[in-house]
Amino acid sequence: MFLIAGLGNPGEKYASTRHNVGFMVVDLLAARHSISLKKKGHQSFYGVGRCCGKSAVLLKPQTFMNLSGASVASASKSLDIASGDLVVIHDEIDLPFGAVRVKVGGGHGGHNGLRNIHQSLGDNSYIRVRMGVGRPPEGGDVANYVLKSFSGSEKKDLDDVLLYAAEVVEALLTHGDQYAMCEYNGRNILNP
């Protein structure tokens, strides 16, 4: 069984922000695979079903980004998820908008949601799907930047980027992390 956790902040105020792309991709995967995200538990909304022929739990932590680890660790432990079957989808300022990268293990890179997951799991060897949101303008505050909505030009491409990210997750489930990294990590859907 796979646990696919999309990171974000709960509430309408944050729904369309850069920090919530993980939620957006999980919502899209739920729609594509007819999985209802109405169960409550593990400090999250979640759903259980099948994605690409694999048993999967789709999870949206409701703890706010910086405390995501409480939800992810609770679900991981309860479901006995191996680190290789945990997929975390999150925003990544070190990648341009439109880039989606698969990474296994590594540091948190300053991302507070990942930092908290690392601490809560005591393990950083899970799979990440890194969604590029770009950096703020020179001297701009990162926290304010990720908590703002996408620009007008980005909004025009956002649906395509989210669909692409969902396809990356589906490829990962179907063919494994090495295939997904080889197939998708060198691309940017907006600049193929």
Active site residues: 19
CB atoms under 10 Å from CB of 174, counted, come to 13
- Of 61, 105, 65, the C-alpha closest to 83 is 105
Task: Tell which phi-psi region holds residue 51, choosing left (phi > 0), alpha (psi between -120 and 50) or beta.
Answer: beta
User: What phi and psi, each to the nearest 5 degrees, are found at residue 74?
Assistant: -60, -50
Report the C-alpha gap between 98 and 21 in whole angstroms: 11
User: What phi and psi, each to the nearest 5 degrees, are found at residue 68?
Assistant: -55, -30
